[in-house]
Structure 1
Amino acid sequence: MKALEFVPRSFKWAPPGVPSRYVSAKVVSIVVLLSVTALILFTLVPRYSAFPSSLPLLNPEIHYEETFTLPVSAPNFSIPDVPALITALQRATAVASEGRDTTFSRKAKLQWHQEHPCRARAELQPLYNLRRIVEDAAPNAKWESVFKEYETLHRVCTQSVGGDLVDYFATRGNTTNCRFLVAGIAPGAGLGNKMLSMVSGLLYAILTQRVFLIAADTLVPGILCEPFEGSQWLFDPQWKVTPEYAPGRQQYWENKDEFYKEVDSALRGGEPVKSSIYGLVANDEWCQPGQRFFCSTEQSYYNLVPWVYINGCFYFLPKLFAIPAFRPVLEDLFPDKLALTHLLRSAFLPSDEVWRRIDQIHSLYLRNADRRVGIQVRYRDGEKEFNITHKLIIDRVVKCALENHILPAAGAKGVSDLNQTLASKPRYQTSVFIASLYPSLHDSLGETYIRNPPEMEDVSIIQVTRGKEQHFNDEEDKQALAEIISLSFADYLFVTPLSTFGGMAQGYGALLPWFIDNRPTSEGSCQRAQTVDVCYQLPQFIYNCPYEPDLDKQWVMSKVPYLKDCLPLDAKYGMQLITRN
């Protein structure tokens, strides 16, 4: 029996998520709960009261010239397939370059990589290939081609600005012919919510040929590599114009309701409408894009707006498949619906500091294992919930693992049935990696296998952090990402329902996890996920597309057969993509 591993660290964090209980099945109750939660979280985040004097303020007394004209009929912008999307990206790049050579020279490329090192670019994928039981997601050549083309657009646009993106935005720059999407984060959101919201924003930016930028309030630049070769994605590091923090927001950003009024005037009034909207906030009070965002007609008008800002904490990627104008190209681009996995592994790579932690965990505890088991346990109400349910959770994890032949019974005489064909070595090596703020599961499993070790297996139990409290800062996020990706190297994954932390691990790893049944009144121990995709929590299930009568007031999932309700054990109100894997 190998020595059990526990590496105490000073990090204190917990997986992020949405409010832990829904007080009613009625939608109005959910709205109230989210609003109150957002207000509380918002008050906890540092605010910036002084607007930097170096940035020019727009004069509200001056009438700015129109940015674009809203036509009386929606422009057609549907992209039917991947070749058409690549052509659209190339066309946007050509327009932005204005005839300049866009070649990224070998010398410039080498210099950029020296300035932005990222070991994970070369080292992450091979570690998934080392798993001995689970089959990894197949490579996606179409996605790789699209992402490469998008990197070129991103680089050309940021270089064309030629200076400070914030100053370019604040002075309503229009010299590049580029359009931008800024992803912000609702105050108080944890790492999982932040990254899943940004993944959704990135896919939208690619579909609409926008330059994807992240606001400084995400705290993400410290934990992730620069994703776009030759470019940068950080926007507004000093919170000068980010809507949540900048006084005088109305001078820079218009809200979606005013935009829709202009769209309605053009479509219903029969006359083109001149618009001065330059920056548009697309999200609503639900911490996600509003209902009309998911309509083809409205999206055709969004294409006319130079800057769009989405401030969110929800993963809304699945519903992009519900937009008729996007659906054909998305189905061509991701026939297996593994969009989340491909986006995470391409654009959301851990920084070298985070990668060193991941590499250490993998080298010490996972690399030589015949079987890897990842377990993520979160007690959403903290110590109070832990004291009530931790014994229940331990019992159900053990029961689920034994029933599904994932872990051997204590004192077992042979190797567990599922892995007989792999047991070529005298002793089978199983590593169990646990991510939790509490050590009870680690201690219980450790004691079990020390006292009654299986005859033919070595079982190692590893947990690298404990802290009991969730914190929101850069250091917590770094360690959280290290453990998320370490969990994603598992062959078998157990996760806590309604946890974006566990969802990120299943997304990176392309895994179908088992949800631990943490309901005291339930008799089951666990339930297998129906998809690799993460649940889009609290979406609007009904189309609100007033100019598309075949969709308006229709149930979204009735129109898109691979969008399904999330499992009730995971989330009572949610939808997700059903992956083919």
Structure 2
Amino acid sequence: MIKDMSGNKKAGDHPVADAAWRRDGMGRAGVLLIACLFTLPFMALLFGGQAGALAVWQNAAKLTAMGGGLLNVSRQSAAGADELFGGLLSPGSDRRACLSRYQSPHYYKHSPYAPSRHLLRKLRDYEARHSRCGPGTPPYARSVDHLRSGSSSSTEDAECNYVVWIPYNGLGNRMLSLLSTFLYALLTDRVLLVHSTDDFTGLFCEPFPGTWVLPPDFPVADMSWLGVGSNQSYGNLLDGKKIANDPAKATARSVPPYVYLHLAHDLRRSDRLFYCNDDQLVLAKVNWLLLQNDFYFVPALYDMAEFEAELRRLFPAKESVAHLLGRYLFHPSNSVWGMITRYYHTYMAQAEERIGVQIRMFSWATIPVDDMYSQIMACSRQEHILPDVVDGDAAASSSSHDHGGSKPKAILIASLQADYYDRIKSTYYEHAAKGGDMVGVFQPSHEERQIMGQRTHNQKALAEIYLLSFSDVLLTTGASTFGYMSSSLAGLRPTMLMIPEDGKVPEPPCVRAVSMEPCFHMTPDVECRGKAVNKEELSRHVKECEDVGKGIKWINGIKLFD
């Protein structure tokens, strides 16, 4: 750490700058450069307000380049990384068109599960099907013509069936919903297409050969306005007897050319029949499915006999679904990836331990900021997440001894509010960490509220999801899809802050997740006809969510229910 003229170490010096200062052969010019690198962001935050803070995303990369790559080496890339995630990704994509696709593996420390051979074959088969049936191909054109004419596709085009995903709700919800829909496409041999709204455009690279974007001339207009009352929803078609959920009576000629699947939070009981095996056999006859959802509904797919055996082969480790499919499907666009890597290399790259803290206060479960901060600190003490601090003479002693054996740590705060960042930062400014560890506390943005329908807001949210996913340790907020997505990408079982009830801090303040899998917040709760799965076998892998009482999540092979 840089010392003043009296030899005392200055409070608040940056751990990364200190690590660089100790580096053998580091010259005075390099030290000055590092001082600039870490002074600029703080000056921007201090004098420039939010606009200055946003400029940091853009300027940090230029300074990093000036440093001759000083901050451009992570421990993962130094050790080497499998840039295809064990064969999860297929080689041959244009590297410059999507930098994150092959660079992101170098940023992850945890890859706890290798993809099964069956999953790899399934993904390669899907990519071939997407190339054969996607937009711009003859089968796609024929299917659209049939849809436009109001008739179902003929049997010659049966190989090319489609599911169109319609974005809904916040970014975390969207990512988990899209991931679930992709798995549904894998299980039903459909082609996944995305209705890309303006606030979703430009967030991700194309994950498949060709495009996953639904062309704008698609015959069904105003898809974003589809809802529970839409005439073509599966529930309303059943209620109006325009479709029968009897597999023996359903044929490709008897079903509508498209069916809208309303699986969002306000779905009705007839919509829930989507989660029944017989209904899936009927829906398999429909050429076009339009799906809108804001949940991670993968756990419900295991409850269908049609899919259960295939899911077992695809994912021998039940908690690996969101982890593996998230890393396969989501690759931030070059503009978002630039935001991620600039911030990472400026603040996080040289830390030996990265601690991600994601804090969300829901409008339906609020407590005072003081109480929320107390909950965070109580959880940290309980689970040993944030570095402990010392006071008084011990602090003075800790701040004056040699830091040669200390461990630089970076704490990344992701929150809509700045209060928690300010308080945690002040803690490590005013108190030394035990063991002499050097601690930096950082927050990329604080939007104050979630902004729906704004692309720049979603870009920053996506950047923070990925920055959190590069952590060694994660503390997330229960019931937050933002936190679910971060921990799934990270390959970590997070500690989760429990949701306040009746305006009071919960007890215990947090719990350790037993699975990386996200929680399905709303179980189907529907009586189904037809073939059922083995409930005893199913019970070995299902658990009520730690953070949502009526939700379920998947775990690895523990007997939980009698």
Secondary structure class of the residue paired with 1:310: strand
Counterpart in 2 of 1:136?
111
Aligned-partner Cα distance in 2 for 1:262–1:145:
38
Determine if the alignment matches structure 1 residue 119 to structure 2 residue 99: yes
TM norm structure 2: 0.72
Aligned-partner Cα distance in 1 for 2:146–2:245:
30
Identity of aligned residues (%): 25
Determine if the alignment matches structure 1 residue 325 to structure 2 residue 306: yes
Q: What is the letter of the counterpart of residue 362 of structure 2?
A: R
- CA deviation vs aligned residue, 1:180-239 (integer Å, no higher than 9, x gap): 0011134xx11111111111110000111100011133843310110102x211114367
Counterpart in 2 of 1:151?
127
Secondary structure class of the residue paired with 2:262: coil
Q: Which of 493, 514, 528 is equivalent to 1:545?
A: 528
Q: Which of 531, 535, 539 is equivalent to 2:515?
A: 531
Counterpart in 2 of 1:45?
none
- CA deviation vs aligned residue, 1:503-549 (integer Å, no higher than 9, x gap): 1111111211111235225342321112111111122234x22234x
Whether contact under 8 Å (1:11, 1:466) holds in the other structure is no
Aligned-partner Cα distance in 2 for 1:434–1:254:
41
- CA deviation vs aligned residue, 1:260-288 (integer Å, no higher than 9, x gap): 846648568x8979515110112256456
Mark the CA change 1:218 to 1:185 in structure 2 (over 3 Å): closer, same or farther: farther
Whether contact under 8 Å (1:432, 1:460) holds in the other structure is yes
Determine if the alignment matches structure 1 residue 179 to structure 2 residue 158: no
Q: Which of 418, 421, 425 is equivalent to 1:446?
A: 425
The 5-angstrom pairing of residues 331-480 of structure 1 reads 331-337=312-318, 338-381=320-363, 385=366, 388-411=367-390, 426-454=405-433, 455-472=435-452, 473-480=454-461
Structure 1 residue 118: Cα displacement: 0.9
Aligned-partner Cα distance in 1 for 2:541–2:202:
36
Mark the CA change 1:258 to 1:240 in structure 2 (over 3 Å): closer, same or farther: closer
The total of aligned residue pairs comes to: 457
Mark the CA change 1:150 to 1:252 in structure 2 (over 3 Å): closer, same or farther: farther
Structure 1 residue 345: Cα displacement: 0.6
Counterpart in 1 of 2:275?
294
User: Could you say what the CA RMSD is over the residues aligned between the two structures, in angstroms?
Assistant: 3.7
Secondary structure class of the residue paired with 1:468: coil
Q: What is the letter of the counterpart of residue 475 of structure 1?
A: T
The 5-angstrom pairing of residues 160-309 of structure 1 reads 160-161=137-138, 169-171=147-149, 176-177=157-158, 178-186=160-168, 189-217=169-197, 219-229=199-209, 231-237=210-216, 241-242=220-221, 244=223, 253=232, 255-258=234-237, 261=241, 264=244, 274-283=253-262, 286-287=265-266, 290-309=271-290
Whether contact under 8 Å (2:116, 2:315) holds in the other structure is no
Q: What stretches of structure 2 of length at least 5 have no aligned partner?
A: 1-11, 15-37, 55-89, 396-401
- CA deviation vs aligned residue, 1:100-130 (integer Å, no higher than 9, x gap): xxxx9x9xx67xx37x81111101122113x
Structure 1 residue 330: Cα displacement: 0.8
Secondary structure class of the residue paired with 2:192: strand
Aligned-partner Cα distance in 2 for 1:201–1:258:
21
Secondary structure class of the residue paired with 2:482: helix
Mark the CA change 1:332 to 1:350 in structure 2 (over 3 Å): closer, same or farther: same
Aligned-partner Cα distance in 2 for 1:210–1:321:
18
Counterpart in 1 of 2:59?
none
Secondary structure class of the residue paired with 1:200: helix
Q: What stretches of structure 1 of length at least 5 have no aligned partner?
A: 14-103, 130-134, 415-422
Return 198-207 or 357-366, whichever deviates more: 357-366
Aligned-partner Cα distance in 2 for 1:213–1:287:
23
Structure 1 residue 298: Cα displacement: 2.1
- CA deviation vs aligned residue, 1:34-61 (integer Å, no higher than 9, x gap): xxxxxxxxxxxxxxxxxxxxxxxxxxxx
Q: What is the letter of the counterpart of residue 206 of structure 1?
A: L
Q: What is the letter of the counterpart of residue 516 of structure 2?
A: V
Mark the CA change 1:438 to 1:273 in structure 2 (over 3 Å): closer, same or farther: closer
Q: What is the letter of the counterpart of residue 412 of structure 2?
A: F
Counterpart in 1 of 2:26?
none
Determine if the alignment matches structure 1 residue 507 to structure 2 residue 488: yes
TM norm structure 1: 0.70
Determine if the alignment matches structure 1 residue 492 to structure 2 residue 473: yes
Aligned-partner Cα distance in 1 for 2:221–2:451:
23
Q: What is the letter of the counterpart of residue 445 of structure 2?
A: T
Aligned-partner Cα distance in 2 for 1:225–1:452:
43
